Structure 1
């Protein structure tokens, strides 16, 4: 068995045994490889963000956290290819890009068969340009949105004028390949959109932001007709 299919199979083997742990020796025997190879594979899974962990002592071994893993997902080959392409669109400059890459690794680990092969083939054909937004800026915007706190930023507008603002984030807008932070600007006392690649510095504060309705802030702007993604809902339990 080649390494990539073996990594997926290791995840499935650990998931099937969870919450029990399996020894490296048992895994090596299961996949007919050396214990050293299994150790390297498990380390690679950890580095990819898969929640595998080792326990020491009597009865120790490797296990996977069932609360943090996905059950096997039965994607069709077309669905898997579309998913990889969509995740690749979240390039290094997009908000939550780091989390997207970790999520894509976990999704890939949950695929098997033709879907897994299709995802790998499409991934090998997609490239992305370097990030246009500084990592520190993107991280601060993510913190402000996730924690619902005030964000202090320095911003250069289309005319080249720089200003310094304290804003209360409401959400994100994507249009024509650009990302915008939609927020209540305390300086202007109005809703404003800030293009992420024009934010030169940003810092999330510990001050709680007031809640703002994203649609309300967009009302009357060129983005007032912006569409929301399909609402996420829990999967129905299997019959």
Structure 2
């Protein structure tokens, strides 16, 4: 068993018994490797963001948070290739670009067989020219959106005029290769769009933001006809296939 496959199998082994922990010795025996190898693998999982943790003392060991992980997902070769294309071509200056890169690594590590080989071959044939981006600004915007908190920013408009704004983020808009933060601007007391590459400084706060409907903020603007992506819509059952029951 190579290391990539073993890392994936380690996660599934921990998921199968969660929240009960497993000792390093038990995992080493399960995969027929040394305890030192298991320790290195578990440390590598932690460093890539997999929610594994260790507890000491009697009854301790390694465990994983089931709510923060996914069960096995089996991709077809076409689906794996589509993911490889989307993630490999992600603009380094786009929001959540860092998360996209780690997601690509996790997907690659979890796939085996023809789907994995097809995805890796295709990803190797895609190159992207990164756009200049302020990672500090992007991180602050990401944090404010994820935590629904107020954001303070310095902004330069198309005419070169600078201003300080306090905004309540509602969402993101992508248009013609550019990204915009759509937010309620407390300074202007109206919905506004802020081009990310024109935000010269941004600071997330801990103040909760009021909820704002993204569609309403876009109404009457040049982006009023913007469409939401359908990629995350629930998959419709095939004819004759029962709908999943709610849990």
Structure 1 partner of 2:196? 196
Contact 1:49 1:106 in 2 (8 A): no
- How far did 1:132 drift? 2.6
CA–CA separation in structure 1 for the residues paired with 2:103 and 2:65? 15
Q: How does 1:131-170 map to 2 (within 5 A)?
A: 132-170=132-170
Stretches of structure 2 lacking an aligned partner (at least 5 in a row): 236-243
Point out the more displaced range, 178-187 or 21-30: 21-30
Structure 2 partner of 1:96? 96
Contact 1:49 1:105 in 2 (8 A): no
Contact 1:14 1:64 in 2 (8 A): yes
Contact 1:52 1:63 in 2 (8 A): yes
CA–CA separation in structure 1 for the residues paired with 2:64 and 2:210? 39
Q: How does 1:78-227 map to 2 (within 5 A)?
A: 78-130=78-130, 132-227=132-227
What is the aligned residue count? Answer: 238
CA RMSD of aligned residues (A): 2.8
- How far did 1:22 drift? 3.1
Could you tell me the TM-score, scaled by structure 1's length?
A: 0.83
Structure 1 partner of 2:241? none
Stretches of structure 1 lacking an aligned partner (at least 5 in a row): none
Structure 1 partner of 2:230? 230
Change (3 A) 1:228 1:62: same
1:74 and 2:85 matched? no
Contact 2:171 2:181 in 1 (8 A): yes
Contact 1:85 1:122 in 2 (8 A): yes
Structure 2 partner of 1:25? 25
Change (3 A) 1:114 1:232: same
